[in-house]
Amino acid sequence: MDHIANPSPGFQRNPDKVITIEPYSGTVTVRAGDAVIASSRRAKVLTESPDPGILYIPFEDIDFDQLRKTDSSTHCPYKGDASYWSVLPAAEAGKDAMWA
């Protein structure tokens, strides 16, 4: 990775940090009960050692009618700011379950 080209503060402080993004092979389907929240053959796996990979699904493959944007937000010094959505069919268990 070209650390000089990445201006994020996290990489400037920790240039040896490695985050990889690779295509996921297969279909990812996200459900809450019987409701399909997302389905994609274009998902990506983001891996940030030592954590396990996290699946990211393109917005175009998400049913936003099943979600409600919340006021929650977080900040990562490597990836930037994140906004959150709650999964409506999951009720309280779905609070802030999706982020981007």
Residue 38, domain extent: 3-99
Percent of the chain with pLDDT over 90: 73
- Virtual torsion, Cα 43, 97, 54, 56, nearest 10 deg: 20
**pTM recorded for the entire structure:** 0.83
Indicate the number of domains in the chain.
Answer: 1
Categorize the per-residue pLDDT at 8 as very low, low, confident or very high, splitting at 50, 70 and 90.
confident
Closest CA to 98 of 6, 28, 3: 28
The domain that holds 36 is classified in CATH as 2.170.150.40
